[in-house]
Structure 1
């Protein structure tokens, strides 16, 4: 049966740039090799993002290289996270109120993938 841990695969152009970006906004992670890295929102998180180089994925599984996940993170220190992401990314949306979610903002990583963050109190 399925485990409570979850791994999500993200395909990026440059492993080093992606790892530096995610660590810059507070994720913990490590480079596995030139084609892969793992990151987590916190060391004890049950969610892992596996970063893979697009060049590698084109070789081993070309049918999925253009898949883009739509992820929404939750944050309890919402305003501080917005400020931190703004320091690292040029593509950060304003904080808005979304029906059913409350305060949210979005941001882009170095590959131009957008992610959402909602406030959890």
Structure 2
């Protein structure tokens, strides 16, 4: 029986740069980082430590070499937050690419892009 979602793998070109984007611009924290022989193997990030679900930044090129048939595209991810209108303005002021802030039946929503052009959405809950 599956009980929860533990980690979401994000396949990226530059793990360190993407980590820095999430940490410096979005206030995520590094939960763990595995480095072997001076090379990043993976980086786990989350909005705060102790949450059940986190992102793991994987090296897209290495994963493709190990498993050429794997889909390495970014999944469609909806994040939940509070004060989304304020967050929208904060992201714009930090120079983050954002879409329009819209009101939907599920709440206020906008999307944003990381430094590699991967889009994510955030909804007020």
TM-score category, normalised to shorter length: 0.7 to 0.9
* Structure 2 CA distance for aligned equivalents of residues 42 and 22 of structure 1: 12
Q: 1:84 to 1:31 in 2, by over 3 A?
A: farther
Gaps of at least 5 residues in structure 1 are none
Task: Determine whether 1:102 maps to 2:102.
Answer: no
- Secondary structure of the equivalent of 2:65? helix
- Secondary structure of the equivalent of 2:7? strand
Q: Which residue of 2 aligns with 1:119?
A: 124
- The alpha carbon displacement at 1:67 in A equals 2.7
- Secondary structure of the equivalent of 2:69? helix
| TM-score normalised to structure 1 length | 0.86
Gaps of at least 5 residues in structure 2 are none
- The alpha carbon displacement at 1:65 in A equals 4.7
Q: Which residue of 2 aligns with 1:21?
A: 21
- Secondary structure of the equivalent of 1:35? strand
- Secondary structure of the equivalent of 1:45? coil
- The alpha carbon displacement at 1:61 in A equals 1.8
Which of 55, 58, 63 matches 1:52?
Answer: 58
RMSD (Å) for aligned C-alpha atoms: 1.7
Count the aligned residue pairs: 118
- Secondary structure of the equivalent of 2:122? strand
* Structure 1 CA distance for aligned equivalents of residues 95 and 16 of structure 2: 15
